[in-house]
Amino acid sequence: MVSRPRRSPTCGRRPWRNPTTSCGPVTRRGGSPCQDRRGRGSGRARRIVVVNPSSDHDGTGPADVRDLLDTLVARGLAGTAPTRAEAVAVLRTGDDDLLDVVAAAGRVRRHRFGRRVRLNYLVNLKSGLCPEDCTYCSQRLGSTAQVLKYSWLSTEDAVAAARAGVDGGARRVCLVASGRGPSDRDVVRVSAMVDGIKREHPDVEVCACLGLLRDGQAERLAAAGADAYNHNLNTSEATYADICTTHEYADRVQTVARAKGAGLSPCSGLIAGMGESDQDLVDVAFALRDLGADSVPVNFLVPFDGTPLAGTWDLTPQQCLRILAMVRFVCPTAELRLAAGREVHLRSLQPLALEMVSSIFLGDYLTSEGQAARADLDMLADGGFEVEGARGAPGARVTPGDRSEVRAPSGVPSSEPGVTVRRRGPGTAVAPNA
């Protein structure tokens, strides 16, 4: 399969070609010169307030940000989608409007989900050595990323790993395996894991993520007790050939449809920060809505060294928040999940993202480490969020009293819970914290 260079949706120019990758053109750092001129990814305040009606699909640009947000909240509360022009406009709001955008998306979030957050826990059943060439993936064909590589976990190890996540508060366990798709033998193997987890934790949802499914495989996973199946679209149909040449966008759509057809809850999401345009992000969000994804994970590219997208840091924390807001408006009833890359891209703005999403991954990702699970729980407590199923009570709120209590180094007395007595800088022989 040959990947196809595409033209920029805004200026019609070809994207920059990455001569170092073996899998075709990869757009990077804004994807096209026109995007750079708009200040995309630069971190500058972007005072783009009005969508040019002539430049978008449906020509219904809102008059200003206040009107835009009022419209989007009304649509979100009604469960209806914005126009594509409105969705693009969210991505082009300026930094001065950022908190208003978050607040508006937060209203839609609270209407459906209140302040509850569902914790998900990933179990990487089989890591690395994939024959596919997804450019963003550290497990891809030819990846030299120094990630863990191992074949299938045993059923006992998979159940034990799930147990750790459930004990930490997770209410959905995601069983993930690298590869193009499972063999029938793999489906039998994962079915035993699903069964083992369900026997121990009947109230915990189990989601399988095994790649492209063939006829009948989704039905077998459902019969084993799986609740959901994850397969991300990742990016727009127009961009897909830029990020993968070994399978097609349509293959992914078909797998999501197969899972849904078998009665599994469809989970499908996207990765932002791969050089896509604003229009691409809106396109994939609408595609996920059209697919009926119940759960929509939003990943931000983690650009591993040893992959074609190494060094691609296009996103700012502010733009990550706009992307989450846009997806929340497009998919107002979906379980919106803050996924990989949140720590490194949102950084200190992570708590604002929680106002818009209703779900996060607890702990580590497939091949990269997340922040400490304890730090996640602290963040939720500080924001007044309710962790689903916390302490056995549905909707129980995590309170500040649940935060980590003493951060002082071992053996050093702390005057108050959560207060670390200074032992560095002036008055000590230890370098100052500067």
The region that residue 427 occupies, defined by phi over 0 for left and psi between -120 and 50 for alpha, beta otherwise, is: left
Pairwise CA distance, residues 337 & 294, whole Å: 11
Instruction: Say whether 11 counts as a known binding-site residue.
Output: no
CB of 124 to ligand SF4, least distance (A): 10
β-strands 270-272, 228-230: how paired? unpaired
CA distances from 29 to 5, 17, 34, 315 (A): 16, 11, 11, 9
Concerning whether 130 is annotated as a catalytic residue, the answer is yes
Pairwise CA distance, residues 149 & 419, whole Å: 40
Structural contact between residues 128 and 152, judged by C-beta atoms closer than 8 angstroms: no
Concerning whether 244 is annotated as a catalytic residue, the answer is no
Instruction: Say whether 337 counts as a known binding-site residue.
Output: yes
Concerning whether 209 is annotated as a catalytic residue, the answer is no
Of residues 53 and 150, the one with the C-beta less far from ligand SF4: 150
Pairwise CA distance, residues 67 & 325, whole Å: 16
Instruction: Say whether 320 counts as a known binding-site residue.
Output: no
The residue from 23, 75, 109, 130 that is catalytic is 130
The residue from 137, 244, 320, 331 that is catalytic is 137
CB of 133 to ligand SF4, least distance (A): 6
Q: Provide the token pair at 386.
A: 């309710």
Instruction: Say whether 244 counts as a known binding-site residue.
Output: no
The residue from 23, 134, 209, 244 that is catalytic is 134
Of residues 306 and 400, the one with the C-beta less far from ligand SF4: 306
CB of 261 to ligand SF4, least distance (A): 21
Q: Which residues bind ligand SF4 (CB under 6 A)?
A: 130, 132, 134, 137, 139-140, 178, 180, 211
Structural contact between residues 111 and 122, judged by C-beta atoms closer than 8 angstroms: no
CB of 193 to ligand SF4, least distance (A): 18
Concerning whether 137 is annotated as a catalytic residue, the answer is yes
Concerning whether 403 is annotated as a catalytic residue, the answer is no
Work out the end-to-end distance of the chain between its first and last CA atoms, rounded to an integer number of angstroms: 53
Of residues 130 and 334, the one with the C-beta less far from ligand SF4: 130
Of residues 27 and 232, the one with the C-beta less far from ligand SF4: 232
Pairwise CA distance, residues 359 & 242, whole Å: 29
CB of 179 to ligand SF4, least distance (A): 6
Pairwise CA distance, residues 253 & 238, whole Å: 14
What residues form the annotated binding site for [4Fe-4S] cluster?
130, 134, 137
Binding residues for [2Fe-2S] cluster: 174, 207, 267, 337
Q: What residues are labeled active site?
A: 130, 134, 137, 174, 207, 267, 337
